[in-house]
Amino acid sequence: MSNVYNWQLGRQMSYPYEESHPDWQFAFVFNTNRCIGCQTCTMACKSTWTFARGQELMWWNNVETKPYGGYPQFWDAKLLKMLHEADPEGQRWKAGAAGRNGAGPYGKFEGKTIFEASETNKDPKGPQVALGYLPSDDEWTSPNIHEETAAGRVRGPNDWTESVSLPEHKVWYFHLARICNHCTYPGCLAACPRQAIYKRKEDGIVLIDQNRCRGYRKCVEACPYKKAMYQPVTRVSEKCVGCYPRIEGKDETLSQDGQPLETRCMSACVGKIRLQGLVKIDKNGQWSKDPENPLYYLIRERRVALPLYPQFGTEPNGYYIPPRWAPRAYLEQMFGPGVEHAIEQYVCPDRDFTIEKGPKVAEVEVTMPSGQARKQEIFNDTVIGYNKAGKEVIRTTVEEPTFERAPIHLNSI
């Protein structure tokens, strides 16, 4: 048992495994405002990693529709209920109480994590290292159940106009794309009795050693996000591997000069909602200050992207820009107390990042989360992206260039 610092919770917490940190950490930001639920990411992953016999119900990347959808079904509602029963005082945050060196930007979590709740929870099947459950076979079927089923209702014909007004739509849903979060304090790793799960020093990717695994499914039970899965043909557990050959620059078909590539789900994304990379971890296990890194900038500087269910306590490395139209109470139980700030930052972006300044091209009125209108100036700036070696790999303007096809090529592909 270790006493570790979880910056997302703004406090120390107990973790039932020895503390150890990688040099770099795989992390990603998903912008839920842009996801169209096309499942291209899902199929890019499936066609690369999970097309074998026994993997039919395995979707390392899935996109579910909130609030009703889930893969496996009800995974989050079930665990939240278990946490509430283990800690009836509820999942409370002390807003604004920043932790060590201001490293708890969302306030301080005063409820119980899955590790802390397991210490007091009396499971009839015996002690657990993390509060969790094993989904039934049925719950793994129908990964896309309740797709685009909206919550809320409209009472009369005139209510439709009001129902789709910001800041909160009365009738709403949003797509939530999910992969393994390659957590800093993984529940799957802590629960494995064979020590078959490990976190790589070079990128923090969490892997299952297929030779050591005996298929006890303790990882499936302990992962709060249900991203460790059982393979009934090989009779061992499997999970998202973070496309590590691409991260290592060893995908011989595509990598140039051994440079890292994005994972399959990230590079295939049609909605361009995904940003992925590595963040530097310091000797204390915290994120090194690096505002030039777009992940660091979005997550730590601007706090526009938030962790998914930080209260579970695994310090997930997947972050989400919350959907600006969804009810705040729902979003706050999902992303913590930083929701209002994140939406405000998203609605009115700044011009601080690595850009070449361009001319002003528009001025629009934006509805802030508070409901107040604000003027937002839009500039045709140029954004520049660099790879790990510091080489420029992308340059794009805010106003995307358009190309008109020559008449000779009309209606041809």
Give kind and range of the element (H or E) at residue 38: none
- Residue 28 backbone phi and psi in degrees, to 5: -150, 155
Smaller CB separation from ligand SF4, 113 or 181: 181
Residue 182 as a binder of ligand SF4 (CB under 6 A): the answer is yes
The two three-digit tokens of residue 128, written as one number? 């657990």
CA distance 25 to 38: 28
Binding residue for ligand SF4, selected from 9, 29, 35, 241, defined by CB under 6 A: 35
Residue 361 near ligand SF4 by CB under 6 A:
no
Q: How far is the CB of 220 from ligand SF4 (least distance, A)?
A: 9
Nearer to ligand SF4, 25 or 293 (CB): 25
Peptide linkage before 72 cis (omega within 30 of 0): yes
For 135, other C-beta atoms within 10 Å of its C-beta total 20
Is 225 near ligand SF4 (CB under 6 A)?
yes
Q: Is 323 in the site for ligand SF4 (CB under 6 A)?
A: no
114 scored as a contact of ligand SF4 (CB under 6 A): no
Q: Report CA Rg, the chain.
A: 22
Task: Give the per-residue contact string, 58-97, with ligand SF4 (x = CB under 6 A; - = no).
Answer: -----x----------------------------------
Which CB sits closer to ligand SF4, 249 or 318? 318
**How many angstroms separate the CA atoms of 292 and 272, rounded?**
21
- Token digits for 105? 């930007």
**Cβ-contact 169, 325 below 8 angstroms:** yes
Cα–Cα dist 64/70, whole Å: 5
* Chain residue at closest Cβ approach to ligand SF4: 271
Which of 23, 76, 63 shows the shortest CA–CA distance to 335? 76
Per the DSSP assignment, residues forming a β-bridge with 108 are: 94
Angle 339-347/328-335 helices, nearest 10 degrees? 110
Nearer to ligand SF4, 70 or 271 (CB): 271
Among 200, 239, 246, 302, binds ligand SF4 (CB under 6 A): 239
Q: Let me know how many helices (H) and strands (E) the chain has, helices first.
A: 12, 19
170 vs 312, which CB is nearer to ligand SF4? 312
Q: Which of 37, 70, 111, 323 forms a contact with ligand SF4 (CB under 6 A)?
A: 37
* Nearest partner of 272 among 364, 158, 177, 403, judged by Cα: 177
User: How many positions of this chain bind ligand SF4 (CB under 6 A)?
Assistant: 28
Is the Cβ–Cβ distance between 39 and 71 less than 8 Å?
A: no
Among residues 6, 25, 33, 39, the one that binds ligand SF4 under rule CB under 6 A: 39
Task: Tell me whether residue 57 or residue 180 sits nearer to ligand SF4 (CB atom).
Answer: 180
> Smallest gap, in angstroms, from Cβ of residue 188 to ligand SF4?
3
- Binding to ligand SF4 in span 273-292, by CB under 6 A: 273
Task: Look at residues 287, 140, 301 and name the one whose alpha carbon lies nearest to residue 220.
Answer: 140
When asked if residue 271 is in the footprint of ligand SF4 (CB under 6 A), the reply is: yes
Do 351 and 321 touch, CB atoms closer than 8 A? no
Of the residues 177, 207, 298, 304, which one makes contact with ligand SF4 according to CB under 6 A: 177
> Could you tell me the smallest distance in angstroms from the CB atom of residue 224 to ligand SF4?
6
Question: Shortest gap between Cβ of 183 and ligand SF4 (angstroms)?
Answer: 3
Applying CB under 6 A, the residues found at the interface with ligand SF4 are 35-41, 63, 175, 177, 180-183, 186-188, 206, 223, 225, 227-228, 239, 269-271, 273, 314
